[in-house]
Amino acid sequence: MRAAVALVLLFLLAPALIVVPLSFAGDAMTRFPPKQFSFLAYQNYLHGPGWVDSTVFSLTMAGTVMVLAVVIGTLTAYGIVKASRRVRRTLSILVLLPMMVPTIIFAIAVYWLLADLKILGTLAGFIVANLVLAVPYAVITIRNGIEGLDPSLAKAASTLGARPARVFVKVTAPLLFPALAAGALFAFLVAFDEVVVAQFISGSFAVPLPKRMWDGILFRWDPAISAISTIQIAITVAVLVMLGLLHRRGQHAQPRTETPS
């Protein structure tokens, strides 16, 4: 069974892993394995036109979406958990709608919406569009964290005289931190990697990194694309490792209740 799982994982990861050595192949990126070692791809990324600007734009946009998604996702998740069963089911379906709608349909709809709002091709337009896509991931993650909290801890803090704000800061927030961090990371990845919506709402000065990479592959092959792909793979792996650590921390953070003898 372990050998079968290892083969399946290798089959899934092989295309992505090939990109890493190709990023050090210089101009000879059509042959694998590469026959030369060069940092030309990374030099093109640092000094090529628009690559660094698109990276800064994507990081700024994704970071803003991450913060807003955590705030909105926390409030929404708390409202869903505290609602009645019928309202909870309806709200859960509404929150998940952006995940169920095909991306191309959402991209067309958000194009006309942003055009009416006069923010098409701007940073604000990208934040609005990607926030809709990222909030469901944050809500799902944070809701699971809220449902896993022990309500008796907050009640005990209130009984001891703590006000609701102090209960949240001192008791609820530390226990909910792994879920908040995981929701933030998911929201960041969703906003940073989205390319279909970017094809519709990009402007002359608002070009995210995935859109510029797509244009580079479509019109002309730039060695910088392989370097950027390697960097994105490294970022994704780092985020997954952080999610695993946060999940483990969340399991250890939950207090164990002992039944009295």
Domain boundaries, the chain: 56-252
What pLDDT is recorded for position 147? 86
CB distance 141 to 183 below 8 Å: yes
Band (pLDDT 50/70/90 cuts) for residue 252 is: low
Q: Is the pTM of this model over 0.85?
A: no
Band (pLDDT 50/70/90 cuts) for residue 124 is: very high
What pLDDT is recorded for position 255? 52
User: CATH code for 56-252?
Assistant: 1.10.3720.10
- Identify the burial level of 134 via C-beta atoms within 10 angstroms of its C-beta, where 0-12 means exposed, 13-18 middle and 19 or more buried: buried
Question: Per-residue pLDDT tens for 133-192?
Answer: 999 999 999 998 888 888 888 888 888 888 888 888 888 888 888 889 889 988 998 999
220-232 average pLDDT score: 79
- Of 63, 57, 72, which is closest to residue 123 (Cα–Cα)? 57
The token pair that represents 92 in the structure block? 């859960």
Q: Lowest mean pLDDT: which of 37-51, 185-199, 244-258?
A: 244-258
Q: Which carries the bigger pLDDT value, residue 100 or residue 226?
A: 100
CB distance 55 to 188 below 8 Å: no
The token pair that represents 237 in the structure block? 């792996």
CA of 157: how far to CAs of 131, 160, 172, in Å?
A: 34, 5, 10
Question: Per-residue pLDDT tens for 51-77?
Answer: 889 999 999 999 999 999 999 999 999
Cis peptide before 178 (omega within 30 of 0): no
Give the chain's mean pLDDT.
84
Band (pLDDT 50/70/90 cuts) for residue 30 is: low
Band (pLDDT 50/70/90 cuts) for residue 26 is: low
User: Does position 259 have pLDDT exceeding 50, yes or no?
Assistant: no
